[in-house]
Amino acid sequence: MKLTRFGHRQLLKFLYRRPLSVADIGPVVSFTFDDFPRTAYTAGGSILRQFGARGTFYAAPGLMGSSNGLGDQFHLDDLHCLIEDGHELGSHTFHHVSSLKTPLSVFLEEVREGRAAMEKLSGLAVSNNFAYPFGAVSAAAKRVVSREMLSCRSIFRGVNAPFADLNLLRANALYGDSDQLDLVRRLLDDNEQRKGWLIFYTHDVRENPSPYGCTPRLFESTVKSVFERRMPILSVREVLARKGRDERRSADGTKAAYVVPQSKSDAEVRLTGSQGTSVS
Ligand SMILES: [Zn+2]
């Protein structure tokens, strides 16, 4: 019997789960960028920094220095700059391949190589957080990639609450322009009520974005709304660190303790401080 797309998605939600309760840390919000185009960092990353927050950039090294419909893809320097800014660098396979169109063993190699190559190229620490290219997840990939990574992000919509499945984190597209703010508001309401973990993802952030990106206007308004609702904005790594899931593999493959800043993020300091919610 062939599963329908809906059946496949339903099955994936229940297979090979790694549940993590988020009730004690929610509501929190993460902004993530896939591939990633340069504007994700130059515009998206910069807006986050204006609010004292950090994002997660899932990069595929095979795209580095190239150009496509999303605009210019990241350069090596961008990786150094984003780490200096306190953002997180996650991985996204080497060649940006789909787990539904690639033999499992090849896909697993892609996952390993994607992360290892980025560390080798940049000399930077790449987190063990991963996003599936095209949001394409096979059941077999869900099973094997979970052994390699602290978390795997999907593009299944909705809020992660009261449990997040670390092998299939839900995430919501932040695409288009300000007319999408109603949808954003509904997601934020849901996240607030359920004390969950809401993850957004996008690609290019520019005035005339691709169908898979958004305008700086929409991005900034969304970040501002989260900020005004006093929900902490944290990278995926920062959320997991709060749950004590902060171990990572070092570049030579041995396990090493991941160094997570002990101080609260700037965003959180502002949120819990007495200065209200104004943004300078
Ligand atoms: Zn991608």
pLDDT in tens, 7-65: 778 888 888 999 999 999 999 999 999 999 999 999 999 999 999 999 999 999 999 99
Task: Look at residue 278 and tell me if it is in a domain.
Answer: no
Q: Which of 240, 207, 228 is nearest to 279 (CA)?
A: 228
**How far does residue 38's CA lie from ligand 1's centre (Å)?**
13
Task: Look at residue 29 and tell me if it is in a domain.
Answer: yes
Read off the pTM. 0.88
On whether the CB atoms of residues 41 and 203 are closer than 8 A, the answer is: no
Q: Of the ranges 41-55, 192-206, 228-242, 255-269, which one carries the lowest mean pLDDT score?
A: 255-269
Q: Which helix (H) or strand (E) segment is 88 a member of?
A: strand 88-91
Task: Look at residue 105 and tell me if it is in a domain.
Answer: yes
**How far does residue 275's CA lie from ligand 1's centre (Å)?**
38
Question: Is 114 strand, coil or helix?
Answer: helix
Say how far apart CA 198 and CA 206 lie, in whole Å. Answer: 23
Decide if pLDDT at 92 tops 80: yes
Mean pLDDT of the chain: 88
pLDDT of residue 11: 86
**How far does residue 60's CA lie from ligand 1's centre (Å)?**
8
**How far does residue 84's CA lie from ligand 1's centre (Å)?**
23
Average pLDDT over residues 255-280: 33
Task: Give the DSSP letter of residue 232.
Answer: -
Task: Look at residue 10 and tell me if it is in a domain.
Answer: no
Q: Which structural domain range is residue 204 located in?
A: 19-272
Q: Which helix (H) or strand (E) segment is 20 a member of?
A: strand 19-21
Task: Look at residue 14 and tell me if it is in a domain.
Answer: no
**How far does residue 133's CA lie from ligand 1's centre (Å)?**
4
Task: Look at residue 5 and tell me if it is in a domain.
Answer: no
Residue 59 is part of a domain; what is its CATH number? 3.20.20.370
Q: Is residue 27 reached through a cis peptide bond, with omega within 30 degrees of 0 on the bond before it?
A: yes
β-pairing verdict for 88-91 and 197-202 = unpaired
Task: Look at residue 87 and tell me if it is in a domain.
Answer: yes
Q: Which tops the pLDDT comparison, 1 or 253?
A: 1
Structurally, the chain folds into a number of domains equal to 1
pLDDT of residue 247: 59
Residue type, 64: M
Task: Look at residue 2 and tell me if it is in a domain.
Answer: no
